[in-house]
């Protein structure tokens, strides 16, 4: 058993960390306050290959392994969770289902423009009454001969505002539940696709999170992903991989907050001593690091299993569950260590605390993760 990263992984990690330090970290506070990731940042992450990390080179990707992708998300999220989720949702929730379930023609048509950043990807799954309950989707599609016609509404669409490509889930008949679901590749600039608003959020404010109305949207037959009725299978497999990406994001947020808390504890003096010399603060730092290391182990294991093409559903759910709750714990303690300053935006840990909370919610709430884990344990 070897817990060391490979030399290639170390080089990648250092390279991404250098970009984060020079370009992303200085912009993170502005991204949060302006509710937008600058086009210059999106252009840079595109040119650096961050949007197609583990996609094979033949489809325009960097051809790296899945662990490289997880390390990338982790490093990015140490400074800016909004940018981390842009990359994660684009890669795990749009590129991956095309790679896993798309025809050769679909891979060659869509993956190169996604990997280059010409188009930013999203998943169009959640509805007002269908989030965790995927089988309850109401958005309906009909076969109109040469194309499908789709009507419905989607909410909480991460990256939707970029109007790139979306993996859309719709049902032929809601009464069929999961058996009626199909998945489609949708160009969000298609007639009838209306972006309703960019949601105002507690955290990850730089991420476009939109509601979308679909009014008689025509989708070419060749844009069907897999076969009709494959939608539920595609959704479950896509979310399974997406959870590891969220775990990596949570891990990065926790690590970024921990570093700021540790540095502050070594610099801030009270009663003539650095507050890090007091056991009350030392105990907090010890607990924070212990949870970070535990989260890292399960997240890396889930990524390794995916690279090895081994079953990873339970590890995926556990990594998302544990890492997200560790991130919320660590960031809250980071604010506490900073005292009153932790509540002020200048010190960044308050932003990290806000950003951490969403990792417990999206890709299925942690209550859903617990149910998923328990069901697999009881088989």
Cα 66 to Cα 74: distance, rounded to the nearest angstrom: 13
Looking at the fold, whether 146 and 98 belong to one and the same domain comes out as no
Co-location of 106 and 173 in the same domain: no
In this prediction, residue 103 carries a pLDDT of 98
Q: Which residues of 30-59 are buried (b: 16+ CB within 10 A; e: fewer)?
A: ebbeebbbeeebbeebbebbbbbbbbeeeb
Q: Are residues 292 and 366 in the same domain?
A: yes
Same domain, 238 and 360: yes
Q: Which helix (H) or strand (E) holds 338?
A: helix 313-338
Mean pLDDT of 96-122: 98
For residue 282, name the pLDDT band (cuts at 50, 70, 90): very high
Tokens of 189: 């600039």
Shared domain for 66 and 133, answered yes or no, is: no
Cα distance between residue 159 and residue 120, in whole Å:
7
Instruction: For the beta carbon of residue 213, count every other beta carbon within 10 angstroms.
Output: 14
Q: What value does the mean pLDDT take over residues 72-94?
A: 98
- Reading the block at residue 339, the tokens are 């005292």
Alpha carbons 113 and 253: distance in angstroms, whole number: 29
Based on the domain organization, do 160 and 32 belong to the same domain? no
Residue 39 located in a structural domain: yes
pLDDT at 132: 79
* CATH code at position 360: 1.20.140.10
Q: Which residues are the active-site residues?
A: 363
* Whether residue 174 is found in the same domain as residue 67: no
**Residue 130 vs residues 93, 125, 136, 171, 261: alpha-carbon distances, Å:** 17, 8, 5, 12, 39
In a domain, 353, yes or no: yes
Chain segment 209-254, per-residue pLDDT in tens:
999 999 999 999 999 999 999 999 999 999 999 999 999 999 999 9
Q: What is the mean pLDDT of residues 89-104?
A: 98
Could you tell me if residue 1 is inside a domain? no
Phi (first) and psi of residue 278, to 5 degrees: -90, 140
Q: Looking at residue 154, what is its pLDDT?
A: 97
3-state secondary structure the chain: CCCCCCHHHHHHHHHHHHHHHHHHHHHHHHHHHHCCCCHHHHHHHHHCCHHHCCCCHHHCCCCCCHHHHHHHHHHHHCCCHHHHHHHHHHHHHHHHHHHHHCCHHHHHHHHHHHHCCCCCEEEECCECCECCCHHHCCCEEEECCCEEEEEEEEEEEECHHHCCEEEEEEECCHHHHHHHEEEEEEECCCCCEEEEEECCCCCCCCCCEEEEEEEEEEEEHHHEECCCCCHHHHHHHHHHHHHHHHHHHHHHHHHHHHHHHHHHHHHCEECCEEHHHCHHHHHHHHHHHHHHHHHHHHHHHHHHHHHCCCCCHHHHHHHHHHHHHHHHHHHHHHHHHHHHHHHCHHHCHHHHHHHHHHCCCCCCCHHHHHHHHHHHHCC
Question: In the predicted model, what is the mean pLDDT of the chain?
Answer: 96
In the chain, count H helices and then E strands.
12, 10
Which of 82, 116, 150 is the last residue in one of the domains?
Answer: 116
Domain limit, last residue, from 213, 229, 245: 229
Q: Residue 303 pLDDT > 80, yes or no?
A: yes
* pLDDT score for 43: 96
| Domain limits for position 89 | 7-116
Residue 131's pLDDT band, with cuts at 50, 70 and 90, is confident
How many Cα atoms are found within 13 Å in the side-chain-facing hemisphere of 229? Answer: 2
User: Is 152 in the same domain as 224?
Assistant: yes
> Do 258 and 366 have their domain in common?
yes
Local confidence band at 2 (pLDDT 50, 70, 90 cut-offs): confident
- Number of structural domains, the chain? 3
CATH number of the domain bearing residue 193? 2.40.110.10
pLDDT at 355 over 90: yes
Cα 18 from Cα 193, distance rounded (Å): 39
Identify the pLDDT of residue 130.
84
379 pLDDT band, cuts 50/70/90, is confident
Residues 365 and 252 in one domain: yes
- pLDDT bin (cut points 50, 70, 90) of residue 147 is very high
Is 283 domain-assigned? yes
Same domain, yes or no, for 173 and 44?
no
2 lies in some domain: no
Distance CA 368, CA 132 (A): 7
Same domain, 239 and 201: no
Rounded CA separation 301/75 (Å)? 17
Mean pLDDT of 19-39: 96
CB 203 within 8 A of CB 249: no
- Average pLDDT value for residue range 50-77: 98
User: Are the C-beta atoms of 97 and 240 separated by less than 8 Å?
Assistant: no
- CA distances 347 to 17, 325, 350, Å, are 20, 22, 7
Judge whether residue 295 has pLDDT over 90.
Answer: yes
Q: Burial, 269: exposed, middle or buried (Cβ in 10 Å; 0-12, 13-18, 19+)?
A: exposed
371 within domain boundaries:
yes
């Amino acid at each position: 058993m070897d817990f060391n990263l490979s030399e290639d992984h170390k080089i990648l990690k250092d390279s991404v960390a250098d970009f984060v330090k020079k370009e992303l970290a200085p912009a993170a506070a502005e991204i949060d306050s302006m509710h937008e990731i600058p086009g210059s940042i999106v252009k840079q992450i595109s040119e650096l290959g961050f949007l197609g990390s583990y996609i094979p080179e033949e489809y325009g990707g960097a051809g790296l392994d899945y662990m490289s992708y997880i390390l990338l998300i982790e490093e990015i999220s140490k400074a800016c969770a909004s940018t981390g989720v842009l990359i994660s949702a684009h890669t795990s929730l749009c590129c991956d289902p095309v790679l896993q379930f798309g025809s050769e023609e679909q891979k060659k048509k869509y993956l190169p423009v996604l990997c280059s950043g010409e188009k930013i990807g999203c998943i169009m799954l959640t509805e007002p009454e269908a989030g965790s309950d995927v089988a309850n989707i109401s958005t309906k599609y009909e076969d109109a001969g040469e194309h499908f016609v789709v009507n419905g509404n989607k909410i909480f669409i991460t990256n939707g505002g970029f109007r790139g490509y979306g993996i859309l889930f719709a049902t032929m008949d809601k009464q069929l539940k999961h058996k009626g679901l199909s998945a489609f590749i949708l160009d969000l600039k298609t007639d009838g696709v209306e972006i309703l608003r960019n949601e105002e959020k507690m955290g990850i404010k730089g991420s476009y999170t939109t509601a979308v109305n679909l009014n008689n949207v025509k989708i070419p037959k060749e844009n069907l992903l897999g076969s009709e009725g494959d939608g539920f299978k595609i959704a479950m497999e896509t979310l399974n991989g997406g959870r590891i990406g969220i775990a990596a994001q949570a891990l990065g947020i926790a690590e970024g907050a921990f570093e700021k808390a540790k540095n502050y504890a070594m610099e801030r003096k009270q009663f003539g001593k650095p507050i890090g010399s007091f056991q009350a603060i030392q105990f907090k730092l010890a607990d924070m690091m212990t949870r970070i290391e535990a989260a890292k182990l399960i997240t890396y294991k889930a990524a390794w299993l995916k690279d090895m093409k081994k079953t990873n559903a339970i590890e995926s759910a556990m990594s998302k569950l544990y890492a997200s709750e560790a991130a919320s714990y660590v960031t809250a303690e980071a604010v506490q260590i900073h005292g009153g300053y932790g509540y002020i935006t200048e010190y960044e840990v308050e932003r990290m605390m806000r950003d951490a909370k969403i990792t417990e919610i999206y890709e299925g709430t942690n209550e859903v993760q617990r149910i998923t884990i328990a069901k697999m344990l009881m088989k």
